[in-house]
Amino acid sequence: MMTRDDFIRRFGGVFEHSPFIAERAWDQGLIDQPLQAEAVHKALCAVFRDADAEQRLKVLRAHPDLAGRLAMAGGLTEESKSEQAGAGLDRLTASEHARFTELNERYVTEFGFPFIIAVKGHDKHSILAEFERRITNPVDTEFAVACGEVEKIAGFRIFDLLAGQGASG
């Protein structure tokens, strides 16, 4: 049986640098054992959705820019590094990197948090197209879209952590 500390150590980073989500899910009795990916994802997402807007904003702000300074400096979490590399964001041309940098800066200025997309299944071209489409969203719409993307990312991470036990949400 997994202990609270074990659970938090294993799942505390599923929502980028936000272990409070795993802590609350455990403390609220939302985690059943044996762990199933779909059930863990559902529990963690419920806690994320129940968090107030400021807490959810902090979770969004904990995410790195896509192909941004942290990536270039090697400062991403292992999960983010792997996810971005899988989409080819570690192999941008100079002009592509400049475009991502420009869009990252515009996006953060407009919305107050970085552009977030679950990159699995995307490549640099589809990510760029989505970036350019979403940058015109109203702030409240984009906040909701970004929160949904964070939940998708969490689902992929949970599924990976549990090596395919149950379905990813």
pLDDT in tens, 86-102: 677 777 888 988 898 89
CA separation for the pair 39, 21 (Å, rounded) = 14
Note if 97 is an active site residue. no
Q: Give the pLDDT score at 84.
A: 67
55, two tokens: 């807490």
CATH level 3 topology of 65-146: UraD-like (1.10.3330)
Share of the chain above pLDDT 90, in %: 68
Q: Give the pLDDT score at 164.
A: 53
Per-residue pLDDT at 169 exceeds 60: no
Q: Give the pLDDT score at 67.
A: 61
What angle do the packed helices 139-161 and 4-11 form, to 10 degrees?
Answer: 120
Q: Which of 17, 41, 63, 122 is catalytic?
A: 63
Instruction: Indicate the domain borders of the chain.
Output: 65-146
Alpha carbons within 13 angstroms on the beta-carbon side of residue 13 total 10
CA separation for the pair 64, 81 (Å, rounded) = 10
